[in-house]
A and B are shown apart, each in its own frame.
Chain A
Amino acid sequence: MAQDPLQQTYDAIVVGSGATGGWAAKRLSEAGLKVALLEAGRAVTGREFTEHMPSFQLKYRNHSPEVMRTRPIQRQCYACMEYNYEWFVNDLENPYSTPPDRPFTWQRLRILGGRSLVWGRQSYRLSDVDFKAASRDGYDVDWPFSYSDLAPFYDIVENYVGISGAPEKNEMLPDGQFLPPMKMSCGEIRLRDSVKKTFGRTVTIGRTAIVTQPHNGRAPCHYCGPCERGCMTYSYFSSPFTTVKDALKTGNCTLITDAIVSHVDMDVSANKARGVTFVNRTTKETKHVRGKTVVLCAQALESTRILLNSSTQEYPKGLGNSSGLLGHYLMDHVVGGSASATFEDMQASPSANPPHRPNGIYLVRFRNTPAEGKHPHFIRGYGFQGGSMPDFNMDAAGIGADYKKAVKRGVYGVSLGAFGESLANLDNFCEIDPNLKDAWGIPALRISMAHGKNEAALMRDAAITGAEMLEAAGAKDIRLTTGTEMPGMAIHEVGTARMGNDPKKSVLDPFCRSHDVSNLLVTDGSGFVSSACQNPTLTMMAITVRACDHLVERFKRNEV
């Protein structure tokens, strides 16, 4: 073993190895910087993947009492299962609080790769309708950059990650660098054609971070289906087997796992970060790492928790919080509006065999667009994710041989579920709970968020328009949901350290740098100014690459 990794001074310390941290480590180490990548969880290997293990080999077939006991919150996430629950945090060791009337479900992984191991992989660009939304409808503020500033970084990320999808030339959802799209089912094609003809709206195959042809040494998807349990061919994008692997290959990156960062250490006289302090997950020892810059990529709420826990005399309300806005403007997409139905005239003949397409369809936002104009009841909009596939009909009536036959005859279902924009709101925030610590003695968060009237109107409208579109496509037995699910449910939390040009009205500058502390960056979703309605991770990764390239330029100019 070479030098003790804790005795060196790194050019950059990256905290978190998930979707964004992996990119930061890759980009900075490939540019020649010496990087320490700190990850709170353990390492992961492909050998623990279980995507080819049938559920009847699980003792409780996904109703394990161990999951119920140790992951009462995590199991609200569909991806937290008897197969993989150890990837998710143990809720007993990782508490947070909420006001009783403002519940928030916080679903997170602490393992190399973070949530990129289980994410749904849907990847959509934002457009200037999102970046400049405030200019159009007067609510809140615009982002401090435009689509054209970010587009080259979307290209870089997509070309490397591998996004399969189809171009649509729709101004709400810019096209990107796509691998060949996955195919649509009969029901989906019928819906797509009907929606276009009747309403002029766009249905496209989901744009997903899964490679459909050999790509950067990864094999194409073999359509087994349950990606959230891992992928032995690394066909979907997860950071340990792509960005983190590349970073380590440079020889410039030192990975330190089981390192739970508690706070950023400051050089008070220089007003600069000089490293971070972490607690070893297994031994609970406290250690320090030194660095010329600190890049937080621990995911929005965790990065902000680290900053709030890094208060000094100069920054009593949290490091980099001279604006007082750190922790505020927490957002998560609103979900809960949906419509489903059956195509009774289409022969179902479901199959228990693969191929199982690990992807759905996407119905592009059509409310409050430049083309359509203002909606009378709400601002912003929503997109639908959904699909139409034949399925077995366990709900069939009857008993005996007739029932067995009816189950196999199946139903051809179709469904649309909305993801709506969550408005940036000062009153949705996180702070440190003075009475709560995690199992490592690190003060925990108190999260206070509720969806408002606009979000409720979006979901109500989504149920109505969803039903109208299914009806027009000839589907029968239409069923709706119109409510708003509790915040956190979409697992798209962003905000809490918004970017902006004005240090009084924002926490980070347009390159994710703290306005207050020039060598401190936060490049995960914390900096989002608005949530838009597209799944956020592609944008987080593009923002990370942009911020890292900017940091490298500053290193080259000796500004750090």
Chain B
Amino acid sequence: MDFPVQVTQASSAHSQAHQTSLSRRDLIRAALLSAAASVLGPSFSLAQAIESGLTPAARGEDGAAYLTDPHWKAAFLNDHQNETLIALSDVIIPATDTSGAKAALVNRYLDLLISVQPSEFQQEFLAALKFIDSESQAQLGKEFLELSLEDQTWLLKPWAYTQQSSHWTERNDPHAQPADLAQQHFHRLKTLIAAAYYGSEIGQKELGWDGEFTHGPYEGCEHSDATHS
């Protein structure tokens, strides 16, 4: 029994030559393992190891399957919260020439993640989500889900940049630092959404990962001058 090596799975998108090199490596690996097993003798049987406890990852379980299950149901969020999270995540990380947060099932992963966090964390998350709706109501008279994409962007964008103190009032009170609750709520959501997106297979591909684990040794700096630019 062996875990599904991810490269094999991802290789369908790659060339034939690529696949051949993968299987050659798998063969080398199998040879190494059987050599180790024979030298180390019967006390190294995998059966014993499994009996004694392997992590799901070491057993080769693909935990990502949970997210794509056709019968998926939210573990923590209600329908409205889930829909709001989908919309919000897709405004923050939309599909461009590559897929966005919705396709990466950011909502499903976050639902699972939050379902196992301490209640304080859960409450903070729900408060942030609720804040988006109440602010949407206050400024635009509608819930976030009912806004057009333009209005959703209009609502969120000011919270997505560092704020500085006002030129007008700074002179009067240099210590005036408005505790920006809105930014805190938004930042909490954005950080989680970004982690869920870039941690997904789609997100890894967005960053340019080609599904490989080996590209030869690290060659380091190859500049001849000292500026390194």
Which chain A residues have a beta carbon within 8 Å of chain B's beta carbons? 42-61, 63-65, 68, 82-86, 182-190, 193, 212, 219-224, 232-234, 240-241, 244-245, 248-249, 255, 257-258, 282, 345-347, 350-357, 392, 394, 397-401, 403-404, 407-408
Give, as a whole number of angstroms, the nearest-CB distance from B164 to chain A.
12
> For chain B residues 84-108, which have a beta carbon within 8 Å of chain A?
91-94, 96, 98
New A-B contacts (9) at CB < 8 Å, excluding given A43-B49, A83-B55, A401-B96: A52-B5, A54-B204, A56-B199, A60-B116, A186-B228, A234-B32, A258-B52, A346-B229, A398-B160
**23 A-B interface contacts by CB (under 8 A):** A45-B44, A46-B33, A47-B3, A47-B46, A48-B49, A52-B5, A56-B64, A56-B201, A59-B112, A64-B116, A82-B57, A84-B58, A223-B214, A248-B39, A258-B52, A347-B229, A352-B208, A353-B208, A353-B209, A355-B218, A394-B194, A400-B93, A404-B94
CA distance A2 to B211 in the complex (A): 48
Whether B229 lies near A50 (C-beta < 8 A) is: no
Whether A57 lies near B157 (C-beta < 8 A) is: no
> For chain B residues 175-229, which have a beta carbon within 8 Å of chain A?
190-191, 194-195, 198-201, 204, 206-210, 212-221, 223, 226, 228-229
Is B70 interfacial (CB 8 A cutoff)? no
Whether A407 lies near B7 (C-beta < 8 A) is: no
Which among B37, B53, B61, B212 is the interface contact of A86 at CB below 8 angstroms?
A: B53
CA distance A185 to B221 in the complex (A): 5
Whether A403 lies near B92 (C-beta < 8 A) is: yes
* Residues on the A chain within 8 Å of B40, using CB: 43, 240, 244-245, 248
Is B72 interfacial (CB 8 A cutoff)? no
Which among B36, B66, B161, B206 is the interface contact of A59 at CB below 8 angstroms?
A: B66
Is B62 interfacial (CB 8 A cutoff)? yes
Is B16 interfacial (CB 8 A cutoff)? no
Whether B221 lies near A189 (C-beta < 8 A) is: yes
Is B153 interfacial (CB 8 A cutoff)? yes
Classify the secondary structure of A's interface with B. Answer: loop
Which among B1, B32, B91, B213 is the interface contact of A399 at CB below 8 angstroms?
A: B91
Is B18 interfacial (CB 8 A cutoff)? no
| A399-B229 CB under 8 A given contacts A86-B58, A182-B218, A404-B96 | no
Whether A46 lies near B32 (C-beta < 8 A) is: yes
* Residues on the A chain within 8 Å of B206, using CB: 404, 408
| A43-B94 CB under 8 A given contacts A223-B216, A232-B29 | no
| A355-B3 CB under 8 A given contacts A50-B57, A86-B58 | no
Whether B198 lies near A392 (C-beta < 8 A) is: yes
* Residues on the B chain within 8 Å of A347, using CB: 229
Give, as a whole number of angstroms, the nearest-CB distance from B2 to chain A.
6
Whether A353 lies near B32 (C-beta < 8 A) is: no
| A354-B208 CB under 8 A given contacts A45-B44, A82-B57 | no
* Residues on the A chain within 8 Å of B210, using CB: 353
Whether B37 lies near A45 (C-beta < 8 A) is: yes
Whether A59 lies near B63 (C-beta < 8 A) is: yes
Whether B229 lies near A355 (C-beta < 8 A) is: no
| A47-B1 CB under 8 A given contacts A56-B64, A57-B57, A184-B221 | yes
Most chain B beta-carbon contacts within 10 A, residue among A46, A212, A394:
A46
Whether A42 lies near B36 (C-beta < 8 A) is: no
> For chain B residues 147-172, which have a beta carbon within 8 Å of chain A?
153, 156-157, 160-162
Give, as a whole number of angstroms, the nearest-CB distance from A111 to chain B.
9
| A57-B62 CB under 8 A given contacts A46-B33, A46-B36, A353-B212 | yes
* Residues on the A chain within 8 Å of B207, using CB: 350, 352, 392, 407-408
* Residues on the A chain within 8 Å of B199, using CB: 55-56, 61
Chain A residue nearest to B109 in the complex (CB): A61
CA distance A374 to B3 in the complex (A): 56
Is B113 interfacial (CB 8 A cutoff)? yes
Give, as a whole number of angstroms, the nearest-CB distance from A114 to chain B.
16
CA distance A82 to B216 in the complex (A): 27
Whether B63 lies near A58 (C-beta < 8 A) is: yes
* Residues on the B chain within 8 Å of A234, using CB: 32, 36
* Residues on the A chain within 8 Å of B63, using CB: 57-60
Is B20 interfacial (CB 8 A cutoff)? no
CA distance A67 to B179 in the complex (A): 36
Which among B5, B39, B54, B117 is the interface contact of A245 at CB below 8 angstroms?
A: B39
Top 7 closest A-B pairs, CB basis?
Answer: A183-B220, A59-B63, A186-B228, A352-B209, A48-B58, A352-B207, A65-B116
CA distance A255 to B39 in the complex (A): 13
Q: Type the 1/0 row for B1-38, where 1 means its CB is closer than 8 Å to any CB of A.
A: 11101110000000000000000000001001100110
CA distance A392 to B195 in the complex (A): 12
* Residues on the B chain within 8 Å of A394, using CB: 191, 194-195, 198
Whether B215 lies near A354 (C-beta < 8 A) is: yes
Is B119 interfacial (CB 8 A cutoff)? no
Whether B44 lies near A83 (C-beta < 8 A) is: no
* Residues on the A chain within 8 Å of B218, using CB: 182-183, 223, 355-357
Is B48 interfacial (CB 8 A cutoff)? yes
Whether A399 lies near B156 (C-beta < 8 A) is: yes
Whether A223 lies near B215 (C-beta < 8 A) is: yes
Which among A50, A53, A68 is the interface contact of B116 at CB below 8 angstroms?
A: A68
Is B174 interfacial (CB 8 A cutoff)? no
* Residues on the A chain within 8 Å of B93, using CB: 399-400, 403-404
Give, as a whole number of angstroms, the nearest-CB distance from A103 to chain B.
20
Whether A53 lies near B39 (C-beta < 8 A) is: no
CA distance A407 to B194 in the complex (A): 10
Chain A residue nearest to B1 in the complex (CB): A47
* Residues on the A chain within 8 Å of B58, using CB: 48-50, 83-84, 86
CA distance A51 to B1 in the complex (A): 17
Chain B residue nearest to A258 in the complex (CB): B52
Whether A56 lies near B195 (C-beta < 8 A) is: no
* Residues on the A chain within 8 Å of B139, using CB: none
Whether A355 lies near B216 (C-beta < 8 A) is: yes
* Residues on the B chain within 8 Å of A183, using CB: 217-221
Chain A residue nearest to B191 in the complex (CB): A394
Which among A43, A193, A248, A353 is the interface contact of B215 at CB below 8 angstroms?
A: A353
Chain A residue nearest to B92 in the complex (CB): A399
Chain B residue nearest to A397 in the complex (CB): B161
Give, as a whole number of angstroms, the nearest-CB distance from B82 to chain A.
18
Which among B41, B48, B57 is the interface contact of A58 at CB below 8 angstroms?
A: B57
